Amino acid sequence: MSLRRRGLVMGAAITAASLLLGGCGGGSENGSEASPGGKVTIEWWHIGTAEPNKTIYDGWAKAYQAQHPNVTIKVTPMENDAFKSKMATVTTAASAPDIFSTWGGGVLKQQLDAGIVKDFGDVNAIGKFTSAALAAYQIDGKTYGIPVDVGMVGFWYNKKLFAEAGVTEPPATWPAFLDAVKKLKAAGITPIALAGKEKWPGHYYWTYLAMRMAGLDALKQAATTHDFTGAGFVAAGRKLKELVDLEPFQKGFLNAAYSTPDGQAATVGSGKAAMELMGQWAPSVQKDAGGGIGEDLGFFPFPAVEGGQGAATEALGGGNGFAIGADAPAEAVDFLKFISQMDNHKKFVESGAGLPALAGGEEAIKDANLKTVATTLAGATGFQLYLDQAYPPAVGQEINDSVAGLIAGSKTPEEVAAAITETAKAEG
Amino acid sequence: MTHPALTERPEKRPRTGARPGPGPGPATVRRRRLRGLATVALFILPALVLYGLLVLAPIAIAAYTSMFRWNGLGGWPEDFVGLDNFTRLFDSDVFHGDLRNGLIIIVLSLLVQLPFALGLALLLNRRMRGRAVYRLLFFAPYVLSEVITGVLFSLILSPESGLANQLLRAVGLEELERAWLADPSTVLPALFAVMTWKYFGFYMILFLAGRQGIPAELGEAAAIDGATAWEQFRHVTLPLLGPTIRIAAFLSIIGTVQLFDLVWVLTGGGPDHASETLAVTMFQFGFKRTQVGYASAISVVMFLLSMIFALAYLRFVMRRDTQGAVTTMGDHR
């Protein structure tokens, strides 16, 4: 009796252990040997755990397997943070899955340095992506990822409150923008909602102003020279100071969160503030946290700033994409080509999972505001990835933190530039 | 060596205890002592291994990694920078702010929170209707988790729709309205108020237990000798509560050095670092910026601060309380 029980327990333990080992071991071994016509397994890790992404991704995998009976796609959806830590492990061990989610930028560069990603070669053979969508995945002229969606940051504003304050059209220049803020304030309306506690929403202002004043090339250069003390970066801080001095933000913004019931999104979404600078997800968060303002909601891009290097048509944003592992079979690339076909991509866009990464995909968007975002993005002449993705985490956080200090009134534009430079230099 | 009495002592007081008649031979004594040691080792081993793995090893590892520039990924750190992390830390305004904030909270705790708890404990020690209910009510906040307390009070202290400001408005005290947690000048007092709400019940129970350990006869005797209520408190109750007060102050100070979760949920250390503590800074650098070497340096500083304080406090303040316990154990064996 006791013997048999022990055997049972041991059997269970062995089964559990082998399951665990199997789960860990996966990775690159399976399907790394591509034999034409033979059985191929593609390991696919993605972070689309929420609907509609999950269904669409599963649908793509099923449809591709139906067309190619020799291919098995093993899909592993993961939560964002779990995915990040798992990727950190496989980066260290230099064994990546065949296809995996990426946001491009600094992390993709790390993965490239670790030798776990592969160059796509001629990316035009895969799909006609917009240059804004593709920019984040290109390093030194080569493409290491393909986009599935892309979005941008801009001003989401309340048309009714703008009209009440006598602002007839969305401001296109920085002076006009400051003027609109003054008019709103004079009319007793809180011009801007800001989540000061979370810091990242505040850094969008500085980043956009740095793009306009110092220019995209200066931001790219700073990644290698670690020098943010140039005149353009200080000027960006000065322009932001002009705005902060008008006291445009809601009461108590320094401790406001982004998506809580009294946070930034809720303040705009309940009509208590006239605008916010936020990415394409803003309408849905406004609706969730504050009820939403429906037809009154409008979008305009960050205004032009005179005297700088950048153009008003350059956008800040980011999106989701996929990279392929260094040992991935040819079928992995073929599968990405399959999901980048216009009709497959349109299904994705129509479902509301994200904004199109393919040129011409805008037609599939139903929401008028999101369509504006997508057309603005499709016509963008330059693109900057979110700085916390483009730079190492320490530098990104220092930008957030210093800019928060500038907005709180404790740091000068020069001190912001110096603090970011110091961290960037220490990071090497 | 000049004191033969000292060196002779072990022989005079054999550890096995003086027994009449012919004692066991020296070999037997040694064997028995060895077996005793083996038993002790056997029982202590699991705890020692756990303690070593979970307490000592992490301290050693943190001390080691604090001398590297390291992002926490990819095996052991390689980029040795000596004490660079520490010099950077001691130069940083955020670190100075952390120390200042910690000191302010400690001073406020000792001057406000503990006396308040003591007063309540003495009140609740008297015979009164519903005494048990009051004790339970005052202790209840301590049972809540820090995170729940944080969320609760961030709602209460929210500038527009928060309960605190609405109450002030309702009683006509609009000019006292503040953006509590969003204003660098009010955030520390607001944080301290929340801490007091959360922790006073714990200290109250501590003091209550201490007070009940004082025999009633002492108070009665003092009263017969003509001591007023104040004199009874000042010369009988307070001195006899000394050990409890000293341990309460100790817990309060150590707790403040490590203060994290409540601050993290309420303010995240903001606005603009005005409520940041050492532990919050450490978290920021370790987990947000992935500068694990620098974060280790902060944790080492926290550890040294706590340890030096704890040792000094035990040595100088609590010496009398611990006498006969740890310090003189050897003599009682």
Q: Which of B158, B178, B186 to mutate to test the interface with A (most CBs of A within 10 A)?
A: B158
Chain A residues whose CB is inside 8 A of the B271 CB are 196-197, 254-255, 408
pLDDT score recorded for residue A48 = 83
In this complex, do A197 and B268 lie within 8 Å of one another by their Cβ atoms? yes
Q: What 3-state class would DSSP assign to B294? A: helix
A255 interfaces chain B, CB cutoff of 8 Å: yes
Residue in chain A lying closest to B284 (CA): A397
Given A254, A409, A426, which is nearest B182 (Cβ)? Answer: A254
Which structure tokens are listed for A305? 């700033």
pLDDT reading at A340 higher than 70: yes
pLDDT interval class at A65 (50, 70, 90) = very high
Residue in chain A lying closest to B179 (CA): A252
* Tens of each residue's pLDDT in chain B, 333 residues: 444 444 444 444 444 444 455 556 677 778 888 888 888 889 999 999 999 999 999 999 999 999 998 877 666 888 888 898 999 999 998 999 999 999 999 999 999 999 999 999 988 888 888 888 988 899 999 999 999 999 999 889 988 888 888 898 888 888 888 888 888 889 999 999 999 999 999 999 999 999 988 888 888 899 899 888 888 888 888 999 988 999 999 999 998 988 999 999 999 887 889 999 999 999 988 888 888 899 999 999 999 999 999 999 988 888 877 665 544 444 444
pLDDT score recorded for residue B251 = 92
Chain B residues whose CB is inside 8 A of the A111 CB are none
Say if residue A318 is exposed, middle or buried (CB neighbours under 10 Å; 0-12, 13-18, 19+): buried
Chain A residues whose CB is inside 8 A of the B158 CB are 252, 262
Would you say A351 and A56 are in contact if contact means Cβ atoms under 8 Å apart?
yes
pLDDT score recorded for residue B4 = 43
pLDDT score recorded for residue B329 = 42
In this complex, do B289 and A197 lie within 8 Å of one another by their Cβ atoms? no
Query: Residue type for A99, please?
Result: I
pLDDT score recorded for residue B324 = 55
Q: What is the pLDDT of residues B11-30, one digit of tens each?
A: 444 444 444 555 566 777 78
Q: What is the pLDDT of residues A243-291, one digit of tens each?
A: 999 999 999 899 998 988 889 999 999 999 999 999 988 888 888 888 8
Given A196, A272, A392, which is nearest B270 (Cβ)? Answer: A196
Q: Are strands A71-77 and A142-143 parallel, antiparallel or unpaired?
A: unpaired
pLDDT reading at A69 higher than 60: yes
Which residues of A, range 191-210, sit inside 8 Å of B by Cβ?
196-198
Q: What is the mean pLDDT of chain A?
A: 86
pLDDT score recorded for residue A19 = 40
In this complex, do A255 and B69 lie within 8 Å of one another by their Cβ atoms? no
Neighbours of B11 (CB within 10 A): 7
Domain A2-150+319-360: assigned CATH number: 3.40.190.10
Q: Number of A:B CB contacts under 8 A?
A: 76
What are the strands, taking DSSP E only, across chain B?
68-69, 79-80
In this complex, do A410 and B272 lie within 8 Å of one another by their Cβ atoms? yes
Residue A196 DSSP label: T
Residue in chain A lying closest to B156 (CA): A262
Neighbours of B29 (CB within 10 A): 14
Task: List the Cα angle B77/B78/B80 in 5-degree steps.
Answer: 105
Task: List the Cα angle B147/B148/B151 in 5-degree steps.
Answer: 85
**C-alpha atoms less than 13 angstroms from C-alpha of B65 in its C-beta half-sphere:** 22
Render the burial of A330-366: b for 16+ CB within 10 Å, e for the rest: ebbbebbebbbebebbbbbbbeebbbbbbeebbebbe
pLDDT interval class at A37 (50, 70, 90) = low
A276 interfaces chain B, CB cutoff of 8 Å: no
- Domain A152-316+386-427: give its CATH architecture: 3-Layer(aba) Sandwich (3.40)
Q: Which of A113, A254, A272 to mutate to test the interface with B (most CBs of B within 10 A)?
A: A254
In this complex, do A408 and B181 lie within 8 Å of one another by their Cβ atoms? no
Say if residue A422 is exposed, middle or buried (CB neighbours under 10 Å; 0-12, 13-18, 19+): middle
Render the burial of A51-75: b for 16+ CB within 10 Å, e for the rest: ebbeebbebbbeebeeeeeebbbeb
A252 interfaces chain B, CB cutoff of 8 Å: yes
pLDDT score recorded for residue B258 = 86
Which of A421, A179, A156, A181 lies closest to A265 in space, CA to CA?
Answer: A156
Lowest-pLDDT choice from A6-10, A140-144, A197-201, B304-308: A6-10
In this complex, do A254 and B270 lie within 8 Å of one another by their Cβ atoms? yes
Q: What is the pLDDT of residues A145-163, one digit of tens each?
A: 999 999 999 999 999 999 9
Given B154, B158, B271, which is nearest A408 (Cβ)? Answer: B271
In this complex, do B182 and A256 lie within 8 Å of one another by their Cβ atoms? yes
Residue B112, Ramachandran bin (φ over 0: left; ψ between -120 and 50: alpha; else beta): alpha
Measured CB to CB, residues of chain B less than 8 Å from chain A are 69, 73-75, 88, 154-155, 158-162, 179-184, 187, 267-268, 270-273, 284, 288-291
What residue ranges of chain A are covered by domains with CATH 3.40.190.10? 2-150+319-360, 152-316+386-427
In this complex, do A426 and B69 lie within 8 Å of one another by their Cβ atoms? yes
To 10 degrees, the CA torsion angle through A107, A111, A112, A117?
A: -120
Which structure tokens are listed for B40? 């002790």
Given A252, A394, A404, which is nearest B182 (Cβ)? Answer: A252
Which structure tokens are listed for A225? 């020279």
In this complex, do B270 and A404 lie within 8 Å of one another by their Cβ atoms? yes
Would you say A371 and A362 are in contact if contact means Cβ atoms under 8 Å apart?
yes
Given A198, A262, A426, which is nearest B161 (Cβ)? Answer: A262
Cis peptide bond prior to B24, omega within 30° of 0: no
In this complex, do A196 and B271 lie within 8 Å of one another by their Cβ atoms? yes
pLDDT interval class at A18 (50, 70, 90) = very low
In this complex, do A262 and B160 lie within 8 Å of one another by their Cβ atoms? yes
Chain A residues whose CB is inside 8 A of the B284 CB are 397
A92 interfaces chain B, CB cutoff of 8 Å: yes
Chain B residues whose CB is inside 8 A of the A91 CB are 73-74
ipTM for the assembly:
0.75
A256 interfaces chain B, CB cutoff of 8 Å: yes
In this complex, do B290 and A196 lie within 8 Å of one another by their Cβ atoms? no
